[in-house]
Structure 1
Amino acid sequence: LVTDGADGVQRTHRVQVIGVLAENTNLVESTLVGSEAALSRLRSVPVAGDSIYVKVAPGQDARVVAGEIERAFVSSGLDAAVLAERFAQRQRLTGGALQLLQGFMALGLLVGIAALGVISTRSVYERRQQVGMLRALGYQKGMVALSFLIESSFVSITGLVIGALTGMVLGDNLVLAFFPQIGESAVSTPWLQIVLIVLAAYLFSLLTTIAPAWQASRIYPADALRYE
């Protein structure tokens, strides 16, 4: 390895490569440990660390020790902090962001369920004469209501299955794209939570369809076919 010295003279160093970082490697919350002496040989200025990690003895309060260290090096502008508190704060921020995203997704889910109810109601009015013909052919009220419920169930189940599968695949790919170092084995799918959300969404979609189905079942053939 050829480097430029402080005097402008190039020097050759023999080094051993023990590892190579991949391009665009994410080093957030990570530490790259190397030899300070080796780095000093490759640079014209001494290498100085920017962080010092202190392990507190058993029985000692980490906050008290951090405060004492900060007061001792106040002239150097040292900022002491407890790692556990920093990690907890970052986890709270991350959790808050995730809850906000979940809130937006829940709002979108409610809007979709409400839209399904509106579509079902509109379908009843648009097919009023067809329902009257079915009633005239012998369809009972329960059969008419059941047909609308089955139709709504097919639409909602199809949408929920496609949405759940797309979300799982997209979520795994996004996690691996932003954090490739964790590997696929570290990515777990919350199956129980997904199943509960899908079931709850399906039940709510059925609830929004009950009223239109009940209205369709109360259509009288004479009223529906009056203008035929």
Structure 2
Amino acid sequence: QENNYQPVQNDSQPDNSPYDNNRSNNGAEQNNDPTPPTTTVKPAVTNPPTTTTPKPQITVPQTEPPEVVIEDTTNLQSVLNYVNSLGRTTDEYYNIGAGLSHDGSDYGKAEAVYNWIQNNVSGNCQVFSVATMYACKGIGLECRYAFFSPDDWYGHMANLVNVDGAWYVFDTQGGRFLKSDKYGDITRIFDESDITIDISVSESAY
């Protein structure tokens, strides 16, 4: 008898094992799993809108130059305040006069004061007159203020000094050393308390 028995051939169809389902006809792995893979997606980070805070505007105040206050020097005290604000004070002029060297005579004292003022003082006639007054007091000479014009405080101011018993014009700014009253019209003579006094001035220079 003819043997019709044929061996069972291996099934050429792939089984449904996971391994075979992942392979394609060319043997490459392929995912045929109908369930889609689970993908964890990071939530989108939304940054808040960037806001730029404007820097505060710094306003620099416009500084005005300091107001120059010019004192109304129409009396002796205001003149003294003015002179004391410039550098040397009346006390310093007094001490300078006290320290000047001289021969002991009134003339020698007047000469020492005159020369020092001429070489060391600057400014208007009021400054010269006040410096002269206090330097004379320091060195031991009698001294007074005097106006030489009808304009008083806004005119010319100088001094009178007593040398050997006589009063002379002593104008350290104007360069008049021990002159007579013929130098100019003296309109007022006054002391360090701003009190008007009557003095007869020599009619001739020393």
TM-score in terms of structure 2 length: 0.25
Q: Which protein has the bigger helix share?
A: 1
Q: Which protein has the bigger strand share?
A: 2
* Higher-Rg member (1/2): 2
TM-score in terms of structure 1 length: 0.23
The structure whose RCO (Cα within 8 Å, separation 6+) is larger is 1
